[in-house]
Chains A and B, each alone.
Chain A
Amino acid sequence: MAVFLQSLISGILIGGVYALIGIGLTLIFGVMRVINFGHGDILMVGMYLTYILFTFAGIDPFVSVLISFPLMFLFGGFLQKVFINRVLNAVAQNQILLTIGLGLIMSNTVMLIFTSDYKIITTSYSSSTIQVGGGVSVSWPLLVSFLITAVITAVLYWFLLKTDTGQAIRATAQDREAAQLMGINVKRMSIIAFGLGSALAGTAGALISPTYYIFPQVGSVFTLKAFVITVLGGMGSVVGATLGGVLIGITESMSAAYISSGWKDVVVFVLFLLVLLLKPSGLMGKSRT
């Protein structure tokens, strides 16, 4: 029982962070129809930002979210304005090449500056836990990052549903041309969407930093994960990405406990294939042909 509860709790907590990564990717795809293959690398930049703030300014990784979120938003907006906007109407291969290229430039630039050494942020609470009884413990930093994720996701929902800008973003996502005809500045919405997507990825990076490790190639692990989450939840669906993230987190954790950690990726991908077979547009996706 302790093993079951431990796995369930860890799965949900880590799944929350996965969700944050997935939401960023799905938001970008929804608005731009561009698959961002550099998403993991943006997350990596967020991690290094946290590392710099922690090491040189002594700012706690969780507090640094307040700084890294706006910075990563600007960074994402910049990428969109300078690079992505130019290929919005190009063929998909060109968009893919561009985002892969941007990702490579990011990871290699970081490697030049920081070398490929692993960086570990060691805070006073890095391995502290709360005992919840029955031999089950909850990682303190993981719990905090889950709570921050929940708050950010809630605010994001509110933003997308209630504010004018949020509605304009959703309109752009639903039909770019119609939105433009209605007087929505779609280029600006694209910049905001990519900025938000990057900020979410960067925040996820900041939140994982106290419990994970940082190196320039860390992005690839999360790019793949973000794809699975996004496609599982339905490309473009924020609710789907949230659901997908938590689902993947729990699946990984449970299969590691009850089958073998070596098989957990297999279980995740089998689940993924099953969902695609039974519901090709993903859990929350609407087919859009």
Chain B
Amino acid sequence: MRKHLLALGATLALSPLMAQKIGVINSMSGPEAPIGESITNGIKLAEEDLVKKGIHVQLVWEDDTGKPQISMSAMEKLATRDNVVGVVGPYTSACSNAVSKLAQKYRVPLLIPAAAKEEITRQGFKYVFRMNAPADRYASSLIDASLTLGKPKTIAFIYENTDFGTSTSKTAKDYVATKGIQVVADEPYPKGSADYRSTLAKIKSKNPDLVFMVSYVADAILLMRQSREVGLQPQAFLGGGAGFTTSEFAREHAISEDVISCTQWTDDVNWPGAKDFGKRYKAKFGKDATYHAACAYESMMIMAECAAKGGGNRDKTQTLLKAGQWNGIMGPVQFADYEGFTNQNNHPMLVQQIQGGTYETIFPKAFATKKAVYPFPRWK
């Protein structure tokens, strides 16, 4: 009995030591906080499931408020002071891009859950991994879907002039060039503007078949509202991720219905555990799970598993991440080197359309749940 107690005591005393220290950098406050919250929630669910799997992690949370410089100092702290085995995060492309250089410098495995800028995994950094599909997939999946649905000849771009917006639309422009679609307007805008009417009126005067928008949550709603105001009437509104894939956006029936967007994940896709994750998320947090949550969840699961297997050694963890293969709520995951990418998960994008206030998968055919509405109905 005494021996048992001693053993128990020793295990209890040692367990914090055996717990793997993993850093999380996320935009928990600041303008990106609504999406940051999804990432936080996803990681919290992962933490629960890891305990069930017998993997103990001690998470060190850092808030970067969406600013690259704060993100970088958070990474410095995690790498040198907290001595974490690996880091999951940050959220935005600008922060991830900044932090990736430090991850390589300090040789800390960094798993980026949901930042879209392609260059992040194109720098040849061995210690930088990415879960989500990069920005070029956003664009190509949307364009492919609209080419299947109709015969668009012209396209107009309006996007936030941040890393995410610029890189997503740049790849989209390159992609439509190969498909013979003509770009008739190219409008970057600074985020937080109150008035896009003049820009939208200019786009309207070009009468494009497709309007491609890249924005975060609030601007997405504003852009669609003002599109309706000025009477912009293309064959399809294409929303490049982020703001167009949130439940807040879907709730704005009058302006969000029939908008086509693409996403990394939906809760009706047939990847193992996806449906269950959606249900548990909703029950625990009272909101629908977004792709950010799913990406963050899977990233934390994989990072923790590798950290535990590698015994807390950064280099071993890096090797395990590189060599591993998983099949979870994000579908098959493998960090591969292809098309100039390093450690990039070649993740398939899903194209969805808001129908009756909910997101329905319309493309690719293998995952489609509903038939697409095309062309975009006339504004009422």
Q: Residue B190 contacts which of A2, A126, A261 (CB distance < 8 angstroms)? A: A261
A89 interfacial contact with B, CB 8 Å: no
Q: Determine, out of B81-89, B143-151, B228-236, B258-266, the stretch whose residues face the partner at the interface.
A: B228-236
Residues of A with C-beta under 8 A to B195: 10-11, 14, 249, 252-253, 256
Verify B231–A135 contact, CB threshold 8 A.
Answer: yes
Q: Residue B188 contacts which of A14, A129, A213, A262 (CB distance < 8 angstroms)? A: A262
Complex: how many Å from CA A256 to CA B190?
10
Complex: how many Å from CA A264 to CA B372?
37
A260 interfacial contact with B, CB 8 Å: yes
Complex: how many Å from CA A213 to CA B252?
13
Residues of A with C-beta under 8 A to B229: 127-129, 137, 139
Verify A213–B225 contact, CB threshold 8 A.
Answer: no
Residues of A with C-beta under 8 A to B196: 256, 261
Encode B10-51 as 1/0 by CB contact (under 8 A) with A: 000000000000000000011101100100000000000000
Q: Determine, out of A48-56, A115-123, A195-203, A226-234, the stretch whose residues face the partner at the interface.
A: A115-123
Complex: how many Å from CA A173 to CA B333?
67
Asked if A126 meets B31 with Cβ closer than 8 Å, knowing A135-B231, A139-B197, A260-B188, the reply is no
Q: Residue B218 contacts which of A10, A215, A264 (CB distance < 8 angstroms)? A: A215
Encode A135-148 as 1/0 by CB contact (under 8 A) with B: 10101000000000
Residues of A with C-beta under 8 A to B154: none
A270 interfacial contact with B, CB 8 Å: no
Residues of B with C-beta under 8 A to A129: 229-231
Verify B189–A3 contact, CB threshold 8 A.
Answer: no
Interface footprint category on B: 35 or more
Encode B175-209 as 1/0 by CB contact (under 8 A) with A: 00000000000011110111111110110110000
B31, B37, B197 interface centre (most CB from chain A within 10 Å):
B197
Verify B188–A127 contact, CB threshold 8 A.
Answer: no
Asked if A7 meets B197 with Cβ closer than 8 Å, knowing A118-B248, A137-B231, the reply is yes
Number of A-B contacts (CB under 8 A): 116
Verify B189–A211 contact, CB threshold 8 A.
Answer: no
In the assembled complex, the CB of A218 is this many whole angstroms from the nearest CB of chain B, namely 8
Verify A261–B193 contact, CB threshold 8 A.
Answer: yes
A151 interfacial contact with B, CB 8 Å: no
A111 interfacial contact with B, CB 8 Å: yes
Interface footprint category on A: 35 or more
Encode B125-166 as 1/0 by CB contact (under 8 A) with A: 000000000000000000000000000000000100100000
Complex: how many Å from CA A2 to CA B252?
28
Residues of B with C-beta under 8 A to A120: 218, 221, 248, 252
Residues of A with C-beta under 8 A to B198: 3, 6-7, 10-11, 253-254, 256-257, 261
Complex: how many Å from CA A122 to CA B34?
19
Residues of B with C-beta under 8 A to A262: 161, 187-190
B255 interfacial contact with A, CB 8 Å: yes
Asked if A213 meets B29 with Cβ closer than 8 Å, knowing A7-B201, A127-B254, A137-B231, the reply is no
B217 interfacial contact with A, CB 8 Å: yes
Can you report 6 A-B residue pairs in the complex whose CB atoms are below 8 A from each other? A6-B198, A116-B33, A118-B217, A137-B230, A139-B226, A261-B188
Top 4 nearest A-B pairs (CB, nearest first) are: A116-B33, A7-B198, A261-B189, A262-B188
Interface, chain B (partner A; CB < 8 A): 29-31, 33-34, 37, 158, 161, 187-190, 192-199, 201-202, 204-205, 217-218, 221-222, 225-226, 228-231, 248, 252, 254-255
Given contacts A116-B29, A118-B217, A208-B194, 13 further A-B contacts (CB under 8 A): A3-B198, A3-B205, A6-B198, A116-B30, A120-B248, A122-B252, A127-B254, A129-B231, A256-B198, A261-B187, A261-B189, A261-B193, A264-B189
